Amino acid sequence: VLRALAMAEGPLAPDELAAVAAAYQAGEGRQARLSTGRARTGHGMLDGDLAAGLQEALRERFAVALPRAVDDAAGGRVRIRHELIASALATDLLPDQRRRMHAALATALAVHPAEAARHWLRAYEPARARAAALQAAAAEESAGADADALRHLELAIELAVPAAAALDDAVDHPDVALLRRAAEAALAAGDPGRAAAFAESALAPGIPSGDRVESAAAWDRLGVYRWESGDREAALGAHA
């Protein structure tokens, strides 16, 4: 329980703890479990060992229960009392155990894609981290949180994997649609200079930019970004 809370670096609800335990056990097959009890079901219920461990952590004041929110159907959340305790617990884990714990947390927190992306990244699963980052970006875009959306889009761009082995530079192209999406997010977040940088990257020589209409639209948007950033001369050049 304490190790899961430590690696989560934030509060977890009882059902999330149960899901972490189930995912951790599934990830290690028939090897040692998080406790000596029966297999975790992952259906949102703490088994006897986990429940006892949680109560002991609270009793010994290693963990603290947060006030339960009115709409918190899962029950009150719990977190490690102090970051020094969390750091000591995390350091005590072997490297492979830390990787598996991050993977278990990412699996259990799939409904929170931003958190899942962070844990997949620390579990050395870039493809899964990228997928979660894209989900998080979409959620933030829907909520109008453009700066947060941009942060997740940048992570997804950073984790992009070429469609084929880069034996030829021609196959190692960035995701143009994603670059243009990031440009729009940057503009909405109040950073037109960064928006222009993304747009320029999507229009770099040798990168397919679509048909003539699509390419013209991309150059037009670049002009907008440059104009908004105060670079009037470059903006006019994009519209030329």
Give pLDDT tens digits for 46-83: 666 777 777 887 777 878 888 766 455 555 788 888 88
> Which residue bears the tokens 């259906």?
43
pLDDT at residue 102 in the model:
96
pLDDT at residue 190 in the model:
96
pLDDT at residue 51 in the model:
75
pLDDT at residue 209 in the model:
66
Annotate the chain with three-state secondary structure. Answer: CHHHHHHHCCCECHHHHHHHHHHHHHHCCCCCCCCCCCCCCCCCCCCHHHHHHHHHHHHCCCEEECCCCCCCCCCCCEEECCHHHHHHHHHHCCHHHHHHHHHHHHHHCCCCHHHHHHHHHHCCCHHHHHHHHHHHHHHHHHHCCHHHHHHHHHHHHHCCCCCCCCCCHHHCCCCHHHHHHHHHHHHHCCCHHHHHHHHHHHCCCCCCCCCHHHHHHHHHHHHHHHHHCCCHHHHHHHHC
Q: To 5 degrees, how large is the angle CA 145–CA 151–CA 152?
A: 90
User: Can you list the residues of the chain whose pLDDT is less than 70?
Assistant: 28-48, 68-75, 161-174, 206, 208-210
